């Protein structure tokens, strides 16, 4: 009895909260991943038993830990997967969070000796990877950012996609007095250009500022009304504080301090662990430009974790993240024999970047996962050859059997792209039936858990 109440006391005193951030570019699979992770916990015994020494007792959702964020709607996502004709959860905007309380009895350590169980509050925060692409702005003046962005717009495919915006900008001499309507139109056309980049066949990822595409609560706010602008030429030294250039410069600086810096200080700096999801298979599908652009975006995302490095960033904020996982998603879009190549490709992408970015005190890893497995691999006879193929329910295609080809095991060189015989398609999820007590089918979500959180459940 006495041991029990002491145990309760200690349990409360040592209740731990861990903030796990889940990020990735739009469509990378954040919502589906979080849904699967929560679902595995709620059906936790088999999921946890084989990944930690702890004695799992149970887990439950206890709402939203962050009053400033929307709640992550697990109930809606699982409902979509559970109905007769299941579909994927809707695309989400901005960030959201949810808290899971996980109760377990540690098998080791001094806490075990005082008896009772332990509770870990796992706060999962879903936020757009696009917002991490804004970090470099903190180091760039308006002039530098404008020069960099306008330079990128001189190259295809951006050049064509930016045409409407660039033509309009010819009507806006930077040294002229700012006109609110024209300024708004300029920023709207710039936003349209960014969205076009993302939605075109090229599916570009390196798009700044991130809030222009995913404004969250800032939709329509004047702080988002600016765009890159050339500095007035030499003959126009007389531009004043009411000119287009000056006004947009001021808004850019406000965006940096009131949006970008605020996000890093108030959210990012409080994360304990982070997973960055990216759909490298889709980038491969879309070709060289898309893949190159995604790699560049990934580099920016990696750099945003590098604050512990002494220097400029260190003065702004220090981050707590000590484990960081780069996960290639939708591994069920390829046949089993290609998983090794997918893994190697991801490793190559991250290692290449890792050479440029030193992670001090952050343990990093790459992994390929399928949060919700929708396919199986089988072998079929094709012109006398035994071909591995996927069997599942394709989204837009009646044919249930798909040959996806070879995933390159390295970053393809520009001249190799024409030889890539790889194509993935989207699949629908199978109906999820909760009544057999099992979690959603997945590939390696347990490994993700083990790397990101396993240590927290040991003692």
Where along the sequence are the contacts to Mg ion (CB under 5 A)?
A: 30-31, 92
Least Cβ distance, residue 356 to ligand GTP (angstroms) = 25
State how far the Cα of 252 lies from the Cα of 231, in Å rounded to an integer: 14
Whose structure tokens read 């600086």? 253
Q: Kindly tell me the sign of the dihedral angle through the C-alpha atoms of 224, 227, 231, 232.
A: negative
- If one counts every other C-beta atom within 10 angstroms of the C-beta of residue 106, the result is 19
Look at residue 293 and give the partner it binds from ligand GTP, Mg ion, none, a contact being a CB closer than 5 to 8 Å depending on partner kind. Answer: none
* Per CB under 6 A, 215 contacts ligand GTP: no
* Per CB under 6 A, 95 contacts ligand GTP: no
Look at residue 88 and give the partner it binds from Mg ion, ligand GTP, none, a contact being a CB closer than 5 to 8 Å depending on partner kind. Answer: ligand GTP
- CA-derived radius of gyration, the chain: 24
* Per CB under 6 A, 30 contacts ligand GTP: yes
Look at residue 370 and give the partner it binds from ligand GTP, Mg ion, none, a contact being a CB closer than 5 to 8 Å depending on partner kind. Answer: ligand GTP
C-beta closer to ligand GTP: residue 143 or 426: 426
Q: With CB under 6 A as the contact rule, which of the stretches 59-67, 83-91, 237-245, 311-319 interacts with ligand GTP?
A: 83-91
Least Cβ distance, residue 398 to ligand GTP (angstroms) = 17
| Backbone torsions φ then ψ of 376, nearest 5 degrees | -130, 155
User: Is residue 116 within 8 Å of residue 4, measured between CB atoms?
Assistant: yes
Which listed residue (370, 390, 407, 440) binds ligand GTP by CB under 6 A? Answer: 370
Q: Which residues of 412-430 are buried (b: 16+ CB within 10 A; e: fewer)?
A: beeeeeeebebebeebebb
Region of residue 33 (phi > 0: left; psi between -120 and 50: alpha; otherwise: beta): alpha
C-beta closer to ligand GTP: residue 88 or 145: 88
Pairing between β-strand 96-105 and β-strand 363-368 as defined by DSSP bridges: unpaired
* Per CB under 6 A, 299 contacts ligand GTP: no
Least Cβ distance, residue 88 to ligand GTP (angstroms) = 3
DSSP string covering 167-227: HHHTT--TTSBP-HHHHHHHHHHHHHHHHHHHHSTT-----SSHHHHS-GGGTT-GGG---
* Per CB under 6 A, 31 contacts ligand GTP: yes
Which listed residue (7, 19, 24, 449) binds ligand GTP by CB under 6 A? Answer: 24
Nearest Cα residue to 125 out of 99, 101, 103, 102: 99
Site mask for ligand GTP (CB under 6 A), range 114-133, x = bound: --------------x-----
Q: Residues for the chain: how many in total?
A: 459
* Per CB under 6 A, 94 contacts ligand GTP: no
* Per CB under 6 A, 29 contacts ligand GTP: yes
Q: Encoding tokens for residue 109?
A: 């350590």
State how far the Cα of 374 lies from the Cα of 390, in Å rounded to an integer: 10
Compute the C-alpha angle 212/262/355, nearest 5°: 80
Least Cβ distance, residue 320 to ligand GTP (angstroms) = 23
Look at residue 372 and give the partner it binds from ligand GTP, Mg ion, none, a contact being a CB closer than 5 to 8 Å depending on partner kind. Answer: ligand GTP
* Per CB under 6 A, 426 contacts ligand GTP: yes
Helix (H, G, I), strand (E, B), or coil: what is residue 366?
strand
C-beta closer to Mg ion: residue 30 or 456: 30
Least Cβ distance, residue 77 to ligand GTP (angstroms) = 8
User: Is residue 330 within 8 Å of residue 279, measured between CB atoms?
Assistant: yes
Burial of 253 (0-12, 13-18, 19+ CB in 10 A): middle
* Per CB under 6 A, 26 contacts ligand GTP: yes
User: Is residue 41 within 8 Å of residue 47, measured between CB atoms?
Assistant: yes
* Per CB under 6 A, 27 contacts ligand GTP: yes
Whose structure tokens read 């500095």? 231
Whose structure tokens read 């399928």? 370
Site mask for ligand GTP (CB under 6 A), range 386-425, x = bound: ----------------------------------------
Q: With CB under 6 A as the contact rule, which of the stretches 30-38, 53-61, 156-164, 335-343 interacts with ligand GTP?
A: 30-38
C-beta closer to ligand GTP: residue 91 or 396: 91
| Site of interaction with ligand GTP (CB under 6 A) | 24, 26-32, 88-89, 91-92, 128, 329-330, 332-333, 370-372, 374, 426-427
């Amino acid at each position: 009895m006495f041991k029990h109440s002491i145990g309760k006391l200690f349990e409360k005193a040592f209740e731990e909260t861990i903030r796990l951030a889940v990020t990735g570019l739009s469509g990378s699979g954040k919502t589906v991943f979080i849904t699967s992770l929560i679902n595995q916990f709620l059906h936790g015994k088999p999921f946890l038993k084989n990944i930690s020494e702890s004695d799992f007792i149970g887990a439950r959702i206890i709402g939203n830990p962050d009053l400033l964020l929307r709640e992550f709607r697990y109930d809606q996502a699982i409902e979509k997967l559970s109905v007769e004709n299941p579909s994927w959860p809707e695309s989400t905007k901005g960030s959201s969070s949810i808290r899971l309380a996980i109760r377990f009895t540690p098998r080791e350590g001094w806490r075990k000796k005082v008896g009772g169980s332990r509770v870990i509050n796992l706060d999962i925060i879903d936020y757009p990877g696009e917002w991490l692409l804004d970090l470099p702005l903190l180091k760039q003046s308006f002039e530098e950012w404008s020069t960099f962005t306008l330079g990128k717009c001189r190259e295809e495919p951006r050049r064509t996609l930016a045409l409407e915006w660039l033509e309009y900008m010819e009507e806006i001499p930077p040294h002229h007095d700012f006109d609110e309507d024209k300024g708004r139109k300029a920023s709207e056309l710039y936003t349209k250009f960014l969205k076009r980049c993302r939605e075109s066949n090229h599916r570009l990822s390196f798009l700044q500022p991130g809030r222009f595409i995913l404004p969250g609560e800032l939709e329509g706010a004047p702080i988002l009304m600016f765009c890159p602008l050339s500095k007035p030429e030499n003959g126009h030294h007389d531009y004043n504080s009411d000119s287009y250039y000056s006004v947009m410069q001021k808004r850019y600086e406000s965006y940096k301090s009131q949006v970008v810096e605020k996000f890093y200080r108030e959210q990012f700096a409080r994360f304990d662990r982070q997973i960055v999801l990216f759909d490298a298979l889709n980038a491969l599908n879309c070709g060289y430009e898309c893949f190159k652009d995604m790699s560049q975006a990934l580099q920016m995302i990696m750099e945003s974790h590098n604050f512990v490095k002494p220097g400029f960033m260190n003065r702004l904020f220090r981050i707590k993240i000590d484990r960081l996982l780069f996960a290639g998603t939708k591994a069920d879009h390829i046949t089993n024999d290609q998983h090794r190549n997918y893994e190697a490709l991801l490793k190559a992408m991250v290692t290449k970047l890792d050479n440029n970015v030193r992670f001090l005190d952050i343990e990093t890893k790459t992994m390929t996962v399928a949060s919700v497995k929708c396919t199986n691999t089988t072998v079929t006879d094709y012109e006398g050859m035994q071909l591995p193929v996927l069997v599942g329910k394709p989204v837009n295609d009646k044919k249930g059997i798909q040959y996806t080809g070879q995933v390159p095991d390295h970053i393809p060189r520009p001249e190799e792209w024409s030889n890539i015989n790889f194509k993935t398609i989207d699949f629908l999820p199978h109906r999820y039936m909760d009544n057999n007590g099992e979690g959603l089918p997945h590939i390696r979500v347990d490994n993700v858990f083990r790397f990101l959180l396993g240590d927290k459940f040991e003692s």
